[in-house]
Amino acid sequence: MEEGSEKQIDSTNEGGDANAETPPETAPAPVVSPTAEEPVCETKRKIDVLLKAVGDTPIMKTKKWTIEKTRSVQGLMDFIKKYLKMDAVEQIFIYVNQSFAPSPDQEVGTLYEH
């Protein structure tokens, strides 16, 4: 996971490239938009997570992170340890809403939805 902002890649070519080849007489691709029946939470692949240091844990410069819903709690713990440059023998504990510790194999998206 990179620190900083998320980049979006726009694959459309809006006349900016003179070397781009376009086939003659092609019909424009149909525009696909999410339907009103589709819930927003299902179309969203990433969620925002707020990480707060407690006790003598080193403070992270960035507190809000955008991570994939499918990432496990163990994957999040590994990322935090790597970001804080912690030794492999050092332990880290994660709590949700300062109330309970999720299991390491739990997906972050499941915790977010409940």
In this prediction, residue 25 carries a pLDDT of 52
For the cut 60, the answer to whether the pLDDT of residue 3 exceeds it is: no
**Count of other CB atoms within 10 angstroms of residue 78:** 14
Does 93 reside within a domain?
A: yes
Q: What is the mean pLDDT of residues 27-32?
A: 45
Domain carrying residue 44: 40-113
- What are the structure tokens assigned to 18, written together? 């003179």
Residues 42, 114: Cα–Cα separation, whole Å:
14
Per-residue pLDDT of 54-64, as tens digits, reads 888 888 888 89
The answer to whether 52 touches 58, Cβ cutoff 8 Å, is no
How many structural domains comprise the chain? Answer: 1
pLDDT band at residue 11 using 50, 70 and 90 as cut-offs = very low
CATH of the domain at 58: 3.10.20.90
**Of 72 and 36, which is predicted with more confidence?**
72
Cα-only R_g, the chain: 20
Query: Is residue 8 assigned to a domain?
Result: no
- 72 domain residue, yes or no: yes
End-to-end CA distance of the chain: 24
* pLDDT at 18 (0 to 100): 45
- Core vs surface per residue 27-48: b (16+ CB within 10 A) or e: eeeeeeeeeeeeeeeeeeeebe
